[in-house]
Structure 1
Amino acid sequence: MEIDDLVKDDAPVLVVGGCGYLGSHIVLALLHSPSYSSVSVINRTIQNNRHPGALYYAGDIAKEYDVRSLLDRIRPRVILHVASPSPSANKKTQNQINVQGTEILLKYATESPFVRALVYTSCHDAIEIDPENAILTEEAATLHTNKSNATPYQKSKANAEKVVITANSWSLRTVCLRLPPIYGGGDSQVIPELLEIMAQGKTTLQIGPNKKVFEHVYIDNAVHAHLLAAKVLLSLDEGLDLRIDGETFFITDDGPMPWYDFARKVWYAAGDRTEPEWIRVVPMHLALATASVNDWVGWTVTLGRRRQEFTSGGMAKLKKGTNFSIEKAREWLGFEPLVPCEEGIRRAVERALEGADPDRLVLRG
């Protein structure tokens, strides 16, 4: 029997953080799904990325009154918790939203007689990365701790994961989805940042040997995984003999590649025609030294309030890479990437260049 056959068509669903990039795409997909009777959104601000048919509520998950009153009003059967601050936000903000907000949401979801399941959007930053770039499974991965040499964002996402998994019970079933950087049409980070590098004429610059592979996930694939997880969790009520609750899952395009390989696919799709012999390689140790100085200068100038773009942390990530297995998601969730990476890049760049002057990128690139 298919999962869709087991999920009743009267389940209200709530997306926390549904006005963000991933959240708004999840909302749109839910609106087109026959499995849910209503789609509601809680977001701090509800002016952006709205879809007709969804119900929007302004609220802060770090405030108990907001969460309690809105859950009583919405009465969702499943919650998709996508809310998270930017990785560059300060420590206080990270802990307020990722940790305290998640704890409050879980507290009242557990107390609610209506909520049966919660899917939490985690990320690869929550775990220690294998320095050898070996393929990591969920069982082999280690979460950051408060003592880890990690950013406030990384620690807060790890702590949130622990809270979500600990809260799993028969009355409230929880799962965590660990995502690498998300790209796609309209994304504000991956594709725009790469196109800006191209516009600055830096496509001939390469830091390090470009050997370690990295993971990405196209927006449609990320959305697909969330809907699958929600359906499987709800299907436990209907007799599905597959216990995914209390588990974590890596979700990727299943197409790991060196960072500059991915970047060059984006640049090529945008019109760049840099030849291999034009590439200038900066040794990693020099890049790390420069980034360390930039860390110190940035901290001194801003008193630690703002993170710098070219940091030792960023260089360390480039040095390590990311390589995850999605076999568990395949077997337990039935997940398979809907859109291959090459097609995802083509779509994302096409969307990014809509209304733009492509000659600006090519001439400066």
Structure 2
Amino acid sequence: MKRPLASQQHLFTMNTNLAAHTYVVTGGGGYFGFRLACTLRNESSRILLFDVRPPSAVLPEGVEFVQGDVRDYAQVEKVLQGADCVFHAASYGMSGREQLNKKLIEEVNVQGTENVLQACVALGVPRLVYTSTFNVVFGGQVIRNGDETLPYLPLHLHPDHYSRTKSLAEMRVLKANGSPLADGCRILRTCALRPAGIYGPGEERHLPRIVGYIENGLFKFVYGDPDSLVEFVHVDNLVSAHVLAAEALTEKGQHCAAGQAYFISDGRPVNNFEFFRPLVEGLGYSFPKLRLPISLIYFFAFLTEMVHSVVGRVYNFQPLLTRTEVYKTGVTHYFSMDKAKAELGYDPRVYDLKEVVEWFRSRGHGRKHAASPVKKLILDALLFLIVGALILSFLPVVGQ
């Protein structure tokens, strides 16, 4: 068994405080779910990862993978047999072209959550920690140091299906807190964690896409106000928050997290593009100097989504950006960690992108030679055409 990364060491020490339990992690085949399992495991606990696909890494001792789909109630009920706590992290539609698949997003995020809740009640599972998102309150408006008193964003104002369905699911999870369990002796206690964008070495969704854009010469500009601030959360900080939340649902934790939602991040607001500067330069590339108005990029993303809606069934291409990704990266929104610190004991550690850069470089990424002059010319011409078309679209029509 491989020794854990240095950044994980503090998490593994938490295992001594975990009692003998059976933990189920839905979405356990993903980056975060697998990392959580590695922290939960100890000699007396049983960890089940439930997902449609297995993790890309080798399972450590004490962790089992169960293939299944949260959309299938029978499969959910089977895996939750004997569980003491469920970490419901399974979701779909977070980014890229996945955001445009409305049907699958609804089925996984809403119906899948209903299945998990129903199975918890039927099987007497007493604790459920739900992995939610900042997006339940954010829809493109500026938020500075927001807290958990902020109301949910009205459902009709969500510009993407993922955010809307995650709101529906979170509301359902918190409403289910206090539901009598089928054994007639206990109640279900639930809470929700709302993380920022996740990063860390080996992250499989966002960082490879960003590195792909960098290596293919597509990262030619930044956009939005240079003073705009967003937040990120290192995977190990997020894992720590989940472990603490599960403990705060127990009698020992005085059930203080029951029925509560918590924003979770590193607690260090930063400009989105400046956050990724160490990654760009660490891989040997130049950071772009061209800055474009966010309105132009948002309009381009809108056009891209329209094209995808027409040709997506024939050619399911990856949009460069979706509208949601534009405002999530270019509009200020960050939140207070005070509630999580006070009630959960959450204490985020300070991380940077050094491990991430090293991870990509160890796998052959990084600039080894100058880009092909022909390829560079084509990409520069494409960028010129895109920017020109966007600018022209904002000009008044002659004669009007």
TM-score scaled to structure 1, two decimals?
0.86
* CA distance in structure 2 between the partners assigned to 1:5 and 1:48 by the alignment: 23
* CA distance in structure 2 between the partners assigned to 1:304 and 1:214 by the alignment: 35
What is the aligned partner in structure 2 of residue 105 from structure 1?
A: 116
The amino acid that maps onto 2:262 is: F
Determine helix, strand or coil for the equivalent of 1:254.
coil
Are the aligned partners of 1:205 and 1:281 in contact in 2 as well (CA < 8 Å)? yes
RMSD: 2.7
Matched, 1:252 2:265: yes
Which of 197, 202, 218 lines up with 1:181 in the alignment? Answer: 197
Are the aligned partners of 1:183 and 1:218 in contact in 2 as well (CA < 8 Å)? yes
* CA distance in structure 2 between the partners assigned to 1:91 and 1:204 by the alignment: 31
Q: CA deviation at 1:6?
A: 11
* CA distance in structure 2 between the partners assigned to 1:139 and 1:356 by the alignment: 46
Q: CA deviation at 1:202?
A: 5.2
Are the aligned partners of 1:11 and 1:76 in contact in 2 as well (CA < 8 Å)? yes
* CA distance in structure 1 between the partners assigned to 2:171 and 2:153 by the alignment: 9
- 1:211-230 equivalences under 5 Å are 211-230=227-246
Are the aligned partners of 1:255 and 1:341 in contact in 2 as well (CA < 8 Å)? no
* CA distance in structure 2 between the partners assigned to 1:125 and 1:304 by the alignment: 30
* CA distance in structure 2 between the partners assigned to 1:133 and 1:282 by the alignment: 22
* CA distance in structure 2 between the partners assigned to 1:6 and 1:195 by the alignment: 38
What is the aligned partner in structure 1 of residue 389 from structure 2?
A: none
What is the aligned partner in structure 2 of residue 197 from structure 1?
A: 213
> Aligned pair count?
347
Measured against aligned partners, the alpha-carbon deviations of 1:23-70 in whole angstroms (never above 9, x if no partner) come to 0000111115x7x52112222233643333212222222212112233
The amino acid that maps onto 1:56 is: F
Which of 39, 55, 76 lines up with 2:64 in the alignment? Answer: 55
What is the aligned partner in structure 1 of residue 382 from structure 2?
A: none
* CA distance in structure 2 between the partners assigned to 1:48 and 1:203 by the alignment: 28
What is the aligned partner in structure 2 of residue 172 from structure 1?
A: 188
* CA distance in structure 1 between the partners assigned to 2:357 and 2:213 by the alignment: 14
The amino acid that maps onto 2:344 is: L
Are the aligned partners of 2:228 and 2:331 in contact in 1 as well (CA < 8 Å)? yes
What is the aligned partner in structure 2 of residue 80 from structure 1?
A: 87
What percentage of residue pairs aligned between the two structures are identical?
25
Are the aligned partners of 1:38 and 1:54 in contact in 2 as well (CA < 8 Å)? yes
TM-score scaled to structure 2, two decimals?
0.79
* CA distance in structure 1 between the partners assigned to 2:332 and 2:111 by the alignment: 30
* CA distance in structure 1 between the partners assigned to 2:63 and 2:369 by the alignment: 37
Higher relative contact order (CA 8 A, sep 6+): 1
Which of 21, 29, 44 lines up with 1:19 in the alignment? Answer: 29
Measured against aligned partners, the alpha-carbon deviations of 1:149-198 in whole angstroms (never above 9, x if no partner) come to 42111111111101100110161110100011111111123322332333
Are the aligned partners of 2:132 and 2:194 in contact in 1 as well (CA < 8 Å)? yes
What is the aligned partner in structure 1 of residue 46 from structure 2?
A: 38
Q: Which has the larger radius of gyration?
A: 2
Are the aligned partners of 1:144 and 1:158 in contact in 2 as well (CA < 8 Å)? no
Q: CA deviation at 1:134?
A: 1.6
Determine helix, strand or coil for the equivalent of 1:134.
strand
Determine helix, strand or coil for the equivalent of 1:341.
coil
- 1:112-123 equivalences under 5 Å are 112-113=123-124, 115-123=125-133
